[in-house]
Amino acid sequence: MIGNLDHTTLQQLWWLITSVVGSLFLFLTFVQGGQTLIFTTATTEEEKTLIINTMGRKWELTFTTLVLFGGALFAAFPLFYATSFGGAYWVWMLILFTFILQAVSYEYRKKPDNFLGARTYEIFMFINGSVGILLIGAAVGTFFTGSSFSLDMFNSVKWGTSYHGLEAALNLFNLSFGLFLVFLARTLGAMYIVNHVDHDALVLRARKATWINLVLALPFLLIILFSLVTMDGFSVDPVTGKIFIEKGKYLHNLLGMPAVLVMLLGGLISVIYGVLATGFLGKNSGIWFGGLGTVLVGLAIFSLAGYNNTAFYPSVTDLQSSLTIYNASSSKYTLTVMSYVALAVPFVLGYIAYVWKLMDAKKLTLAELTSEDANEMY
Amino acid sequence: MEDQILSTVDWARAQFALTAMYHWIFVPLTLGLSFLVAFFESIYVKTGNEEWKKLTKFWMTLFGVNFAIGVATGIILEFQFGTNWSNYSWMVGDIFGAPLAIEGIFAFFLEATFFAVMFFGWHRVSKGFHLFSTWMVAVGSSLSAVWILVANAWMQFPTGMAFNPDRARFEMQSFWDVALSPVAVHKFTHTTSSAFLLASLFVVGISSLFLLQKRHQKMAKRSMVVAAVFGFIASIFCAFTGDEAAFNVAHKQPMKLAAIEGLYVGQEKAPIIAAGIINSSKKPGDDLPAFYQEVKIPGLLSLLANRDANSFVPGINDLVFGNAERNIVGAEQRMVTGKIAVAELTRYKNAKEKGDAAAAASALALFNQNKGDLGYGYLKSPAQAVPPVAIAFYSFHIMVVLGTLFPLIFLLVLYFAFKGTLENQRWLNLACLLSIFLGYVAQQAGWVVAEVGRQPWAIQGLLPVNVASTNIATGNVQATFFIFLALFTALLLAEIRIMLKQIKTGPEA
């Protein structure tokens, strides 16, 4: 059946698959959010260690999902991979630096003779959870605001500024996107602490942190939503493939794709409910509503950027160099092969969910941190 | 401008080499240690002996410390293809991206999911499920190696693809040709067996340290026996697959083979240089001797390359200037046809843009006639087709010499373990300890042979590195090089200190 799909359908399918991976990554940034809570929500060394060990059992999933997101973009949309990573060089490099710091921080923080001291590794985690997520948000923001680049006849990228992508963080929309993700991640992180930690005082503060961070995220969310429905967008003529500016493009996309509008609104409501349930109703399951909501919002954002004849990586300096899911994609053969590979994804999600359930069946307690397995703890 | 592009390429190459070399400090240990830990835990589960559990947890802790930094350096490699090699990413992303994505789906999630169980699941899951998880981490590590080595093998031996002039890129035609190419199969088997070997050296070496210090002797001897068996099997397999890999090099990358043997003039009954000092002044086509001093074994290179001791093996001169008698087209001639291909491709693209169908058709026809040498059209001189001979030669010979030594070490360990006098062999224990370092030297040398020997190509024969890199000012790549250097070095120091402390503490921690 997959072999009979035409190229256009495969391109749309792969934008969906990539969007799902990207949206799952956004949910899993609760790990990054949790990392930033160690300096605000934890008041003692023990509480800090509880948070770090809670997040530490999931950090690799987030990391791996990011790597898969990159791999899927490389395999399915190589021209985006080449253009964005090669052009917006410094944004991606800084994001990568923060993830290098994260990767070692869990394992090394509590180990004796760790060279840099526990505090340094905690700061590394904070940098990853704040600067790293902010820059990822700014990079995604450029899907709507565009970047300064041009492609020659061999699709070699030439970036228009010497800041190589850092200029994205100076744009209000992009910056708002980044800050929204930072506070959303903190909200999710607090919800996960409530779900997984058995420590009354810490959980109480984490419940409070969920709504405080949601409130902090709201102004940025409003800027994003207001901008999205009012801004000009980058449209593609489906016949000629020419890119042109369309007034109210993303509003048109929302109205033209009601499912996306439903996902966006449903997602936001789900996140808000998750916060209310955790912060005010004393429930522990808020993370699942927050997570589902985040995935839905992520899917809506990626759909707005890529579907309905829209250029998902627009160039503001050379409009015709803008990338669409059609001109940036891999060949039909490669997308077909990768679609067969993607059939394994439900199986992968299945065993992840099974192991998650097993490992989270019991909450994390202070006693476990000092048990016979203490040497393995973060 | 030209100089700047060259300079950017040099820094991009340096950065990739730096990242890959750091990455390959940690990854082979992870690959091999994951299996050794699985063996240890299997014995624990089978015997129920808590001492085996303690032993398992000790090696697992070292595995975890090493794993983290392997992950950190690994993510950079993937994204560096985009940041520093964006033209490469576009031109071959249709083929190269797939193995990386498959690696993520099939391998990384397996590792990431079960890693948490392995370390934190002792009291959260059953004993059997914990063992299963440890094995899954080992399997996941090797699956990861499969796909990244498929990708690397394709760079050495591009197959299963065709050039699409409309998109100006290479596109996949056969996934199975890419995934199951002989180079991919032998690269995987050789690389993973060498990784198992290194991890075995590590366990044997650290255990030897305990014996020298007269600490944890029972645990040390148990670890040594398991690791020496694993290491001995791996080292024999590594030698066998290494021979197969060299056979592939002889046929798919003859220039690399000529470079690693310093063979300038092709000959029948070509000798292997068992040891030698390269003449650094030697250039292709001149009359200078290739070596100041050398020890040859006649016919062995021919035997290795063609399974026939009397056969002809082409030298660097044949491959640069051609050899009509042997029907070898040299880089010099291939550059001529390659430049036609490059020019006709540009003409084709221009004609298409202007809507001139006739001109486009004629350009395309000429391009198709010459496209086999497209990559050579980007070389600046025929001599550029020659990789750095001295680096390739010395790295290869260091790897082979050390690879021959390691099985002997494992055999001696097993012999004295069988006799029950392992702890009395101070000289052997010292040799085992030193072998950890030598194992790392062999690992690094192996990758230097593979990657430096492939130069100047990013994709063998198709895409030279100077075309593959990103169009970005040198300073950016230079800056990130030094940031990576500082960061990785600091993290390596941290890793070594943590490892040493854990070893000093021993399994009592």
Strand, helix or coil for residue B415:
helix
User: Would the CB atoms of A156 and B73 count as touching at under 8 Å?
Assistant: no
Instruction: Return the percent helix, strand and coil in chain B, to nearest 5.
Output: 75, 5, 15
Distance in angstroms (rounded) separating the CA atoms of residues B257 and B185: 19
Residue A198: its H or E element: none
Reading the block at residue B111, the tokens are: 């590792």
pLDDT value at residue B2: 44
Q: Give pLDDT, residue B332.
A: 95
Domain stop point among B326, B341, B367: B326
Q: Out of B83, B96, B171, whose CB is closest to A86? A: B83
Shared-domain flag, residues B409 and B357: no
- The total number of structural domains in chain B stands at 3
Beta-carbon-side half-sphere exposure of residue A281 (alpha carbons within 13 Å): 12
Nearest to B97 among A75, A159, A352 (CB): A75
Nearest to A98 by CA among A62, A73, A142: A62
Contact A334 B121 (CB under 8 A): no
Tokens of B59: 């090696």
Nearest residue to B62 (alpha-carbon basis) of A375, A371, A368, A359:
A375
Residue with tokens 């052997």: B428
Q: Is residue A93 part of a domain?
A: yes
* Structure tokens given for A29: 């940034």
CA separation, residue A176 to residues A166, A172, A228 (Å): 15, 6, 12
| Pair B97, B154 in one domain | yes
User: Looking at CA atoms only, how far is residue A376 from chain B in angstroms?
Assistant: 6
What's the gap in Å between the CA of B211 and the closest CA on chain A?
Answer: 24
Residue A256 lies in a domain: no
Of B100, B108, B500, Cβ closest to residue A74: B100
Q: Which residues on neighbouring strands pair with residue A197, listed in sequence order?
A: A364
The pLDDT profile of chain B, 509 residues, written as one tens digit per residue, is: 344 455 899 999 999 999 999 999 999 999 999 999 999 999 999 999 999 999 999 999 999 999 988 888 888 888 999 999 999 999 999 999 999 999 999 999 999 999 999 999 999 999 999 999 999 999 999 999 999 999 999 999 999 999 999 999 999 999 999 999 999 999 999 999 999 999 999 999 999 999 999 999 999 999 999 999 999 999 999 999 999 999 999 999 999 999 999 999 999 999 999 999 999 999 999 999 999 999 999 999 999 999 999 999 999 999 999 999 999 999 999 999 999 999 999 999 999 999 999 999 999 999 999 999 999 999 999 999 999 999 999 999 999 999 999 999 999 999 999 999 999 999 999 999 999 999 999 999 999 999 999 999 999 999 999 999 999 999 999 999 999 999 999 999 999 999 999 999 998 75
Residues 6+ apart with CB under 8 A from B493: A115
Of the candidates B181, B392, B373, the one whose C-alpha atom is nearest the C-alpha of residue B276 is: B392
CB contact under 8 A, A157 and B470: yes
Statement to judge: residues B342 and B217 lie in one domain: no
- Closest residue of chain A to B126, computed from CA coordinates: A358
Q: Where among B313, B346, B378 does a domain terminate? A: B378
Question: In this structure, is residue A249 part of a structural domain?
Answer: no
Query: What distance in Å separates the CA atoms of residue B376 and residue B459, rounded to the nearest whole number?
Result: 11
* Closest listed residue to residue A303, CA positions, set A331, A338, A334, A267: A267
Identity of residue B393: F
| CB pair distance less than 8 Å for B94 and A331 | yes
For chain A, how are helix, strand and coil distributed in percent, rounded to 5?
70, 5, 25
State the residue range of the domain holding B231. 2-253+387-508
Which residues of chain A have a CB within 8 Å of the CB of B123?
Answer: 368, 371, 373
Which one, of A39, A41, A1, A12, lies nearest residue A208 by Cα?
A: A41
Do B47 and B146 fall within a single domain? yes
Record the tokens describing residue A9, joined without a space.
């359908």
Mutation pick from B16, B55, B62, B86 vs chain A, by most beta carbons of A within 10 Å, is: B86
User: Are B457 and B482 contained in the same domain?
Assistant: yes
- Write out residues 326-365 of B within 8 Å (CB-CB) of A: 346, 349-350, 353
Domain termination site, one of B326, B344, B365: B326
> B98–A341: do the CB atoms touch at under 8 Å?
yes
Hey, which residues 458-477 in chain B have their CB within 8 Å of chain A? 470-473, 476
Q: Which one, of B188, B175, B189, lies nearest residue B147 by Cα?
A: B188
**Is residue A35 within 8 Å of residue A128, measured between CB atoms?**
yes
Residues of chain A with pLDDT under 70: none
* Shortest Cα–Cα distance, B317 to chain A (Å): 33
Q: Which residues does chain B have within 8 Å of residue A2's beta carbon, measured at their own beta carbons?
A: none
Q: Which of A100, A156, A368 sits opposite B72 (nearest CB)?
A: A100
Residues from chain A contacting residue B88 (CB–CB below 8 Å): 82
CB-based burial, B142-152: b 16+ in 10 Å, e otherwise: bbbbbbbbbbb
Say which amino acid occupies B232: F
B76–A contact, CB cutoff 8 A: yes
Per-window interface: A 144-163 vs B, CB < 8 A: 153-159, 162
Q: How far is B257 from chain A (nearest CA, A)?
A: 32
Measured CA distances, B198 to A312, A375, B149, B328, B402 (Å): 46, 25, 18, 39, 11
Contacts of A375 in chain B (CB under 8 A): 57, 61, 509
- Encoded tokens for B260: 């690693």
B74 with B161, same domain: the answer is: yes
Q: What is the largest CA-CA distance in chain A?
A: 67
For residues B55 and B99, membership in a common domain is answered with: yes
Q: Are B73 and A57 in contact (CB under 8 A)?
A: no
* Residue A8 within a domain: yes
User: How far is the C-alpha of B99 from the C-alpha of B148, rounded, in Å?
Assistant: 7
Question: How confident is the model at residue B72, as a pLDDT?
Answer: 85
> CB atoms < 10 A from the CB of A365, how many?
13
Structural domain includes residue A40: yes
**How many domains would you assign to chain A?**
1
Residue pairs spanning A and B at CB distance below 8 A: 263
The pLDDT, as a whole number, for residue B6 is 58
Report the pLDDT value the prediction gives residue B509, as an integer from 0 to 100. Answer: 59
Residue B1 confidence (pLDDT)? 39
- Alpha carbons A341 and A358: distance in angstroms, whole number: 27
pLDDT in tens, B213-255: 999 999 999 999 999 999 999 999 999 999 999 999 999 999 9
On whether any CB of chain A is under 8 Å from the CB of B421, the answer is no
Picking from A78, A103, A345, the nearest residue to B71 by CB comes out as: A103
Based on the domain organization, do B343 and B488 belong to the same domain? no
The type of residue at B136 is M
Shared domain check, B90 and B68: yes
Are B209 and B131 in the same domain?
Answer: yes
Longest dimension (CA), chain B: 84
Helices and strands per DSSP (H, E), number in chain B: 17, 8
Number of residues written out for chain B: 509
In the structure encoding, which two tokens stand for residue B278, read together?
């390269």
CB A115 to CB B96 under 8 A?
A: no
Residues in chain A: 378
Hey, CA dihedral for B186, B192, B198, B204, is it positive or negative? negative
Is residue A6 in a domain? yes
Chain-chain contact of B76 with A96 (C-beta, under 8 angstroms): yes
In this complex, do B82 and A344 lie within 8 Å of one another by their Cβ atoms? no
Residues A162-198 have pLDDT tens digits of 999 999 989 999 999 999 999 999 999 999 999 999 9
Whole-number Å distance between alpha carbons of A271 and B203: 49
Query: How crowded is residue B180: how many other Cβ atoms within 10 Å of its Cβ?
Result: 13
What type of residue sits at position B374?
Answer: L
Q: At B84, which helix (H) or strand (E)?
A: none
Residues B221, B114, single domain; the answer is yes
Backbone angle region of A161, left / alpha / beta, with phi > 0 → left and psi within -120 to 50 → alpha: beta
Residue of B nearest to A156 (CA): B87
- What is the ipTM, given to two decimal places? 0.92
d(Cα B97, Cα A260) in Å, to the nearest integer? 29
B245 lies in the same domain as B319 = no
Distance CA A19, CA A27 (A): 12
Cβ–Cβ below 8 Å for B476 and A68: no
Range of the domain at A118: 2-232+313-376
- Which whole-number Å values give the CA distances from B370 to B98, B296, B341, B458, B461, in the listed order? 28, 40, 5, 20, 13
Is residue B21 less than 8 Å (CB to CB) from chain A?
Answer: no
Spatial distance between the Cα atoms of A74 and B90, rounded to a whole number of angstroms: 9
Bridge partners, B464 (sequence order): B457
Q: Look at B487 and A76 and tell me if their CB atoms are within 8 Å.
A: no
Distance from CA of B122 to the nearest CA of A (A): 8
**Chain A residues whose beta carbon lies within 8 Å of the beta carbon of residue B95:** 334
- Contact of B421 with B385, CB cutoff 8 Å: no
Closest CA to A63 of A91, A82, A35: A35
